Amino acid sequence: MRQLVKNSLNLFVAGFGCCKKEIYSTLGPTYDISRFGVNFVNLPEDSDVLVIQGFYNRTGERRLLDCYRSMEEPKWVIAAGKCIVDRSVFCQDYVLTDRLKNEIKIDFYVPGCPPRPEAFIYCILRILEIH
């Protein structure tokens, strides 16, 4: 199945935060991420790529893990934004990648606060290139 749809990725963006605004702005005609065969979906079961961004608490972490587990293989994970790649902007002691390092394997990091839409598209192109 992956061979058949290898140029088409379904993205699920978890969490809430400023990066989501920039990630969704790639949908518009200016950036038009859909010409690379990328769709945004709202169900983790449908998706191939999980985008982790924004702010989380324990409930949010639990929901993120549920989403990750309900995705089917093969799956990739993108960590977008400073709050996930590094420490949270709001709380220096909170590092999500450290807390979930045993449960989730992150494939790509997109730095920036928030990352520009071009940076996010570059990351998607790298996924399409590698796989």
Nearer residue to another protein within complex by CB, 3 or 66: 66
Alpha helices in the chain (DSSP H): 18-24, 58-70, 82-85, 96-99, 117-130
Q: Which stretch binds another protein (CB under 8 A): 20-28, 72-80, 97-105, 118-126?
A: 20-28
> Quick check: 18 binds another protein (CB under 8 A)?
yes
Q: Kindly state the DSSP code that residue 22 receives in the 8-state scheme.
A: H
Does 30 contact another protein by CB under 8 A?
Answer: yes
61 CB-near residues (< 8 Å, 6+ apart): 96, 99, 100
Instruction: List residues near another protein by CB under 8 A.
Output: 12, 14-18, 20-22, 24-25, 27-30, 40, 42, 55-57, 59-60, 63, 67, 88-94, 113-114, 116
